[in-house]
Structure 1
């Protein structure tokens, strides 16, 4: 029997985190993707696990870190991108709102870790270490500055692949194509103490890209943290986009960092997508938003504007299969208890319940 004398902070952490243990790791590993489909799981923020019918596994933007953990001195770190953007002084209250649904150190069979851009809630040292140690054949794919960070962390150079817009990388039966990103927050991310006024902006192509994952079951467009851009229409003209993911959220006053509900719909329309899935709104307490707002706006506009796509409201840890789920509009976890009364129930008398 357990004894409170044996309980420590360390034992609590090891027995509790990640909160889902290896439940999702096991589910993904056991999934057999049917021909003509692909499966993906939302891992929080913009992190997804993509699995093809050929058993190719791509991990994108998995973040296993935390936001604010202390009030500190109450001030924003000087030179933070949000300070560059807005001139704020007070600390950003970005607490992590989402539990950890996957154990990075139990990850297996990853063929590629793909990262969209340089920000730490997408480019994660814990994920890099786990994939490097557990999946020795995995490739590390990202823009130049992402790869530079991996190299600084100790990822072997021969495992890394630098991509710029227009580049493609074949990962077994999935083709990964890099496309232009539109992440203006990344453009105002700089080294500590660096002044941006009066300077030419950074080259976006070196710090951020969007991706099109082409599978035998359909294509997924991952927009990273891109803001809305007219260039989405160009990408939609040039590529088949079946499912698109966009970084949705409610921007605090004086901040433009996430795509709002109106522009989530515009993004899907511009990309000629069949399905649009909002992500990222789950993770930060100060950017949380209600994705049902997207559904309500879609219902208001779909007949007048003749939308050819549907929004899908996902949940972190949930699975989405395309095209099987393309006409669904909301995810719900399996509720269980399909086998009620498979054996005699054990109650004092039949009318007890």
Structure 2
């Protein structure tokens, strides 16, 4: 039904438009019947993942429903920001959000656990926590100590939370969630109090603020590296665990900053983990860290025969589904294009040459 321009407001526009995909992806995930011997997952933007097992267990990891910069402000970095601490920058970071919201958090259903890798706000999100808490009363909230402390401040009941540290395992129905060491040096220089000086002090305990996860399903395993940088310890994780698919926070680091894994180190990570598939994530979300993921594929092609790589890269798209092992050899995702039923009924044009 048409509206009058006098009835349209900023509030009505927001409610009519966001999230941009409405419940399209919510419906797809809910209706997906995962085949035996496989697991399915959907990329929700940044490092946000929805994981679903053959048995119907649903785990939501690192879903972020916030925004980056929305105004130029005074043009200066917030005092004490981790990027300022890292490299002594003063000008504002131009980190605009570049991806649409592909899922409606307040329409989520059947989530068995919200699992978060670390303390940064583009992974630990109050909107996601609220939606899961309200819609899925039985869901567990799993994270390292400081992540759980944040949930408690937001009002998540303590009995719903599970604190994990490297070496811990949590059973979420048929999925075994293994917490492993994280290698996120940016998290180590994150401190909310701008008056606190970190120089010449011992660093924070990484195990309390960040962990990586291995999700073990009956159809295979998924390693989620959160925002970890490259570490030689990936080889230890690869020795100790069977890892089928690994996700890494890929991006093009601005001058003077090391916050994301580069294309070469994405390949090193996959090789060290003994993974079968490596998937870059996170490069999609920030305007100032965007990178071309096909760079990973091209370098893989250049090296794979000489170095005898036993894994393949997979270039995903936000909102897309990946099923292991069904898609393990695909290299690249594309959305369903439709129109396979063209001319299944008589078309209606003024005359054939119109086409």
- Secondary structure of the structure 1 residue equivalent to 2:6: helix
Among 275, 278, 281, which residue is 1:279 paired with? 281
Separation in structure 2 between the aligned mates of residue 83 and residue 233 of structure 1, nearest angstrom: 31
1:67 aligns with 2:59: no
Alpha-carbon shift at residue 108 of structure 1 (Å): 0.4
Alpha-carbon shift at residue 349 of structure 1 (Å): 1.6
Among 217, 220, 239, which residue is 1:218 paired with? 220
Alpha-carbon shift at residue 338 of structure 1 (Å): 1.0
Separation in structure 1 between the aligned mates of residue 143 and residue 354 of structure 2, nearest angstrom: 60
- Secondary structure of the structure 2 residue equivalent to 1:233: helix
Separation in structure 2 between the aligned mates of residue 191 and residue 252 of structure 1, nearest angstrom: 23
Separation in structure 2 between the aligned mates of residue 255 and residue 265 of structure 1, nearest angstrom: 20
Alpha-carbon shift at residue 191 of structure 1 (Å): 2.4
Deviation track 1:253-309 (CA, whole Å, cap 9, x = no partner) reads 000000000000000000000000000000000000000100000000000000000
Q: Which aligned runs of 4 or more in structure 1 are off by greater than 6 angstroms?
A: none
Separation in structure 2 between the aligned mates of residue 3 and residue 269 of structure 1, nearest angstrom: 59
| Count of aligned positions | 353
Separation in structure 2 between the aligned mates of residue 10 and residue 102 of structure 1, nearest angstrom: 20
Q: What does 1:58-137 align with in structure 2 at a 5 Å threshold?
A: 58-137=59-138
Separation in structure 1 between the aligned mates of residue 166 and residue 343 of structure 2, nearest angstrom: 57
Q: What does 1:131-280 align with in structure 2 at a 5 Å threshold?
A: 131-192=132-193, 193-280=195-282
Separation in structure 1 between the aligned mates of residue 69 and residue 219 of structure 2, nearest angstrom: 39
Name the residue aligned to 2:55: 54
- Secondary structure of the structure 2 residue equivalent to 1:25: helix
- Secondary structure of the structure 2 residue equivalent to 1:97: coil
Separation in structure 1 between the aligned mates of residue 344 and residue 35 of structure 2, nearest angstrom: 30
TM-score normalised to structure 1 length: 1.00
Pairwise CA RMSD of aligned residues?
Answer: 0.5
TM-score normalised to structure 2 length: 0.99
Separation in structure 2 between the aligned mates of residue 142 and residue 296 of structure 1, nearest angstrom: 35
Alpha-carbon shift at residue 58 of structure 1 (Å): 0.1
Alpha-carbon shift at residue 194 of structure 1 (Å): 1.0
Of the structure 1 ranges 157-166 and 191-200, higher mean CA displacement relative to structure 2 is found in 191-200
Separation in structure 2 between the aligned mates of residue 178 and residue 189 of structure 1, nearest angstrom: 21
Name the residue aligned to 1:24: 25
- Secondary structure of the structure 2 residue equivalent to 1:131: helix
Q: What does 1:308-319 align with in structure 2 at a 5 Å threshold?
A: 308-319=310-321
Alpha-carbon shift at residue 351 of structure 1 (Å): 2.5
Deviation track 1:198-253 (CA, whole Å, cap 9, x = no partner) reads 10000000000000000000000000000000000000000000000000000000
Deviation track 1:164-196 (CA, whole Å, cap 9, x = no partner) reads 000000001100000000000000001222100
- Secondary structure of the structure 2 residue equivalent to 1:245: strand
Alpha-carbon shift at residue 350 of structure 1 (Å): 2.0
- Secondary structure of the structure 2 residue equivalent to 1:285: coil
- Secondary structure of the structure 2 residue equivalent to 1:348: coil
Alpha-carbon shift at residue 103 of structure 1 (Å): 0.3
Alpha-carbon shift at residue 352 of structure 1 (Å): 1.9
Deviation track 1:114-143 (CA, whole Å, cap 9, x = no partner) reads 000000000000000000000000000000
Separation in structure 2 between the aligned mates of residue 65 and residue 352 of structure 1, nearest angstrom: 46
Alpha-carbon shift at residue 342 of structure 1 (Å): 1.2
